[in-house]
Amino acid sequence: MQETHLAKLRRIMHEEVGAWQPRLLMIDGLIRLLPRYTAARLRPRLLRLAGIAIGHGTVVMGPLRLHGYGPIHRRLRIGAHCVINTDCFFDLNDCITIADHVGIGHEVMILTASHQMGDAGHRVGPLITAPVVIEAGAWIGARALLLPGIRIGAGSVVAAGSVVTRTVPANTLVGGVPAKPIRTLA
């Protein structure tokens, strides 16, 4: 049976409106009013009000761009005593877990969604998601890009501008496009 235009419109509206996060949208609007590099301790408190799990002592230096479908506030967990710089992009179609004492530079992108390769007629295939984990003490340099399904090991450093396509072992400095191990850290 063919779906009527009204039924189709109703279904689309339900799907789109179901993705709205009113409390998160309101909190995000307040955060965007705050000047960058000020109120770094207030932002985590506001994000907690939106339902995001953030540990004690974490500072957020500017607005975050949080994207994804559905209850994205449940998919982001940030540990204690982290420093997250301004304008980071978190794709929350799957979970992002950031452990304690992690430093994240400005404009870092963490992706949890990608697409399978389709056929020649339509290369963008079905959406796939995978979680990203950043272990304790890691440092992610400015404008680094972390792809879905990777893990950054404890105490590791991702050089600025790197594209991380594979899991990084603990205490390793990686850099480049794609990121490769540069040296082991003490």
| Residues catalogued as catalytic | 115
What tokens does 166 get? 């594979």
Report CA-CA distances (Å) from 44 to 39, 79, 127. 9, 11, 31
* 123 within 8 A of 145, measured Cβ to Cβ: no
Burial 76-115 (b: 16+ CB within 10 A, else e): bebbeebbbbbbbebbbbbbbbbbbbbbbbbbbbbbbbbe
